[in-house]
Chain A
Amino acid sequence: MAHNRVVQWSTMSRIWWLYDAKYQCPFRSARIIAGYLQGQHKPIYHALSDVGDHVVVINSRHIAMREELWRTFTFSYHTGYAKGFSRTPAWRLHSMEPTMMIEKAVYSNMPGFLLRRKYMRRLHIYPDEEVPPEIIGNVCDQIQQIQKVPKRLDEYTAEEIQAFPKLFDWSEEYVIENISADKPKDTVKAAKK
């Protein structure tokens, strides 16, 4: 039954996925990543059997949050002793440890039973694009991102900015703060507003 052995090995094997977290919402990404870690994308999935895959997350430093969440979203912690309560805003936590936001979000997106720690060990988070070759060598597929990566203004060429349709002109007495020497940039900013 040597062939049956390898067939079973193939069915039950864990494959390695890559996820690019650049400009992605950590909370919505975490829901997707948690599904892959638990193996919910497989037809052989069962809640009690450990059939999850590995996920390598890159660019965790460059995640994006909407509105004022960097300031208003807080992580709270209690040491267990009196006056041990602490509350850290997301921006602070992220500046201290750029992989922590994704990790916490994924952890909280999984059911709280004993397999959770095992699943978390199969999550590999890297703050930037640099991943050790022994990790990136394992990867065989990539998870689709959940939102569009916006193109930043400095990524546009001067011609593109010039060619962009102008919606309206500012009145002459309108004062624009932080006006820079680059005139075309300001016009685009104004257009977007």
Chain B
Amino acid sequence: MSHLASVIAVEGLCHSYGHRLALDGVTLRIPTAGLVGLIGPDGVGKSTLLSLVAGAKRIQTGRVAVFGGDMADQRHRSAVCSRIAFLPQGLGKNLYPDLSVRENIDFFGRLFGEPAGERARRIDALLEATGLAPFPDRPARKLSGGMRQKLGLCCALVHDPDLLILDEPTTGVDPLSRRQFWELIERMRARRAGMSVVVATAYMEEAERFDELIAMNAGRILASAAPSELKRLTGQRSLEESFIALLPEAARAGRRALSISPRPPVEHEAVIIARDLTRRFGEFVAVDGVSFAIERGEIFGFLGSNGCGKTTTMKMLTGLLPASDGRAWLLGQPIDGSDMRLRRRVGYMSQSFSLYTELTVRQNLDLHARLFHIDADSAKSRIASLVERFGFGPYVDQRASQLPLGIRQRLSLAVAVVHEPELLILDEPTSGVDPLARDTFWELLVELSRQQGVTIFVSTHFMNEAERCDRVALMHGGRVVAAGTPTELAEAKDAANLEDAFVAYLQSAGGESPGLVSMPPEAERPVISPSAHIAPRAGFSLGRFLAYSWRETLELWRDPVRLGFALLGTAFLMVVFGLGINTDVNQVTFAAFDRDNTPESRAYLQEFRGSSYFSERKTLASYDDLDRALRSAAFALAIEVPPGFGRDIRRGAEPEIGAWIDGAMPFRAETVLGYLTGLHQRYVADLAAKAGNRPASPGVATRFVYNQDFKSIFAMVPGTIAMLLAFMPAMLMAVGVVREKELGSIVNLYVTPVTRLEFLLGKQLPYVILCLISFLTLVVMAIFLFGVTLKGSFWALLLGALLYVTAMTGYGLVISAFTRTQIAALFVAGIMTSLPAVQFSGMLAPVSSLTGFPALMAHTFPTMYFLRISVGTFTKALGFQELAGSLLALAVFIPILILISLAFLRRQEL
């Protein structure tokens, strides 16, 4: 087959994560201009396959050709990446939550190098076509799941791709939004003939609309055919059944159609009652007067689009969130967040996955049994029966993080029922779980409800799940718009099934979910002109670099806390350290132990009493006294004048003064020793002068250069500037890249034309500017608040600061590129900055006196060089010429640090 006919050609593709094989020899061809679906349960390799095709992951073995070229070839990959658009799994994972709708699309447009005019035109057209036009300024994090997916699509389409790769784009999206999403895709394809679309999905009902389906299981392809063909081949009526029929015997074993027995007739006792429950967050009303009652043993379904208030309602029922208004009762008692006995009767599974992923299956079950105080014997049998019933046998000693999603979800449920609760509250427990695993999950729910009389309150997006509930409530915009049995609801809207009824209810409720129904006619014109592709600029592109800078700046700007800490926090620390880091030892506390008590002994002690360096604390009466006071650190120095001191002086018998210094704080002891010796010598000299002897010439004159008064503020304030400008940039930048890794937007580095250098420098620039602003504030404070005048060249200081903050942000980038979690990044930045920036920078002790490892650390860290520039310009009155060496050293750090970051930062996921 020629490459022209197939947009994607994959041959013998294998991929493994450690020991686990995710793809096992996949070979397939995807024709141009088709809509091809990838179906199969979770963890069979769908996402891995799509990431490899999109170029987000590095190919291990096998061949992937896209647009006729090898994707392992970096040159081909960067040449074609602007023709591919990739929407990764997870709602809006590659979007930037703090950016508005328009800014998000604009950012992607810039990455693909579109000129401003063209970009604006395309954004308008896309917003219009997706119905997002009324909300261009809404931040992405405030969008509902459906809107977020539409925004993701806009971002993917803004550069006019020839191949659109969508990984589970509608998972966790409500039926109306889902329907609109597919209509949108259809329209896009109609307008841009020739665009190929590859989609992975877990919704079999969606798969019906695809041109061709590829069924996958266990890293292999089971079949590849049109939907009708697939059904014909397997002789099944529905796609879901066809898929199951394709599975190997072992995977099908024990599977039977889920049947739900009717509820046994019981007295109708309401166990959950909500009455006018309301929750406000500031102005926003998340839940608006919701009322319902759920009976014992009932399975009550909660339906609604994302962000309609389902989770908030559930959180109020569990007592996690206090209600703003209205009341609720659980098991006959008013909800009280601190009622421990009530909590033991309720099980809860939150939407975000609520297990400890670093514990094994058994450890998770064990921990929860212990926390619910089930006694050891019954816990053992309970866990054994859960392991059996939930089928954890092969997984029992695996860590939860390594489990397939379906098993993990089952474990979450097992953990929630370990204490045999009477009531289960489950918030979208099956979101993102494949049909097979969902059926197993529901079997367990039905068993709990029908056999053990457990009341189940469950929210879901899946209509076939909703149909299994005894009753359902539809929520929209914080209100319950309808409630009843699934059949009642369908009948009330004259709909064939619950899904149609749901859509009808939502449409009549109106609200924010923007529909295509009302799309204005002008949006019907082609969104995208069939213009030629803008080939990605090879080499460094200023536009892409600035796109990242601009985006980072917006995010920083939208986080006033971070911005405030960075600017005001540094100023605050400057005040504290400027006042606090003071090495002038004044007012040394001393105690006199005068055993002579003559005019001579008092004259000797007067030297100390009259000196501003010393301040007397107490008089000692005995050696015991002296010993005790030394031990309790009551003073730093004790002076003992021996008995007969006056007499001995008069006789010239050379008496000896005794002095005790507290050595527990060595540097203070050293300073005290210096003062003591000085005063003693002065006394001796005076004595000699009085006796008529001309004092000998001292022979030494000490000149304190740069700082005649020897005041520590002139060294410490410039030093503090160097120290603060080490910590702030390093801490700010250290989470910069690793945060994108954790939150998922790093994928944009992998699949768009942006290069690693543009990415790194683009992220660095705003922080360099921020730190320079901070630097200028510190200089102003040093001059006007602390009275430390700038004697040398301001421009040398400014250049030094620019180089220094660039080097320090570069240092943060290295840490960020190297670490995998934000915690590790923060810790490493803190620990690796504190020694060289505080202890070995030259602020507390000159670098020239360091040896060995400390010296090595000092010389390979930027702070020491900037400290010389800072102290040099402020106090030593130096300029460019004298500081050239230090400036050059700082400049050398920058390319080295950037090269190290580049080496750590991957071009593709492994």
Q: Do A and B bind each other?
A: no
- B contacts, CB < 8 Å to A: none
